[in-house]
């Protein structure tokens, strides 16, 4: 009787230990996502609707923030949709830390500057809409590292140069919009 109680107690303690470790890992992952999104918020210099000011707060669960949808299994950010919000600012490299992100829609805003290379770390990304912004410079070659990408919309930006050869690495790509405001050249082998 005493031996079975000891075994039962040991099993309960082990289960409790694994539950606590899992909870700590989940909390750490949510913190990583929260820090990435707060970094984006800090780079936004104009936000007329004030949705982000009101809901993007460290005291509110990141999964309840405007434009954010988390996965039910891991409670990690899977979808980020800030399209048509008249946001002005830059995209920080920390956005590349949203490792569970499947869909990123920042279209129809006023983001500007160069796209950070860290976005290439978003290996699960299937949908990326950066259209109708003011991104400049050459079209980044790192898009070729986004092997799961199905939709890429870069239309109506100010990219220059030719389309990188690495675009041919995106074998799952179904929709591609490269309708640029500026003069660009297609890739010529």
Tell me the pLDDT of the chain (189 aa) as tens digits: 566 666 655 565 555 545 454 444 444 446 899 999 999 999 999 999 998 988 999 999 999 999 999 999 989 999 999 999 999 999 999 999 999 999 999 999 999 999 999 999 999 999 999 999 999 999 999 999 999 999 999 999 999 888 899 999 899 999 999 886 655 555 544
Question: 108 in the Ramachandran plot: left (φ > 0), alpha (ψ -120 to 50) or beta?
Answer: left
d(CA 172, CA 169): 9
Please, are residues 96 and 121 in contact by the beta-carbon 8 Å criterion?
Answer: yes
| 145-181 burial code (b ≥16 CB/10 A, e <16) | bbeebbbbbbbbbebeeebbebbeebeebeebebebe
pTM for the structure as a whole = 0.81
Boundaries of every domain in the chain: 2-185
Helices (H) and strands (E) in the chain, counts: 2, 12
d(CA 130, CA 40): 14
* CA distances, 1 to each of 6, 12, 43 (Å): 9, 17, 63
Q: Give CATH superfamily name and number for 2-185.
A: Ribonuclease Inhibitor (3.80.10.10)
Q: Smallest Cα–Cα separation from 79: which of 58, 100, 60?
A: 100
Please state, as a whole number, how many other Cβ atoms lie within 10 Å of the Cβ of residue 7. Answer: 10
């Amino acid at each position: 009787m005493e031996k079975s109680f000891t075994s039962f107690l040991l099993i309960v303690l082990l289960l409790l230990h694994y539950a606590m470790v899992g909870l700590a890992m989940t909390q750490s992952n949510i913190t990583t996502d929260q820090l990435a999104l707060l970094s984006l918020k800090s780079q936004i210099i104009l936000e007329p609707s004030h949705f982000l000011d009101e809901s993007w707060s460290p005291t509110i669960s990141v999964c309840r923030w405007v434009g954010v949808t988390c996965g039910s299994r891991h409670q990690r950010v899977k979808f980020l949709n800030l399209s048509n919000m008249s946001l002005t600012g830059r995209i920080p490299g920390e956005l590349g830390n949203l490792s569970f992100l499947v869909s990123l829609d920042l279209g129809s805003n006023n983001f500007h500057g160069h796209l950070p290379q860290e976005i290439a770390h978003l290996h699960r990304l299937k949908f990326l809409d950066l259209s109708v912004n003011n991104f400049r410079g050459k079209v980044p070659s790192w898009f070729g590292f986004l092997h799961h990408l199905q939709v890429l919309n870069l239309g109506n930006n100010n990219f220059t140069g030719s389309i990188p050869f690495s675009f041919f690495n995106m074998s799952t790509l179904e929709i591609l919009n490269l309708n640029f405001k500026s003069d660009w050249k297609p890739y010529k082998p």
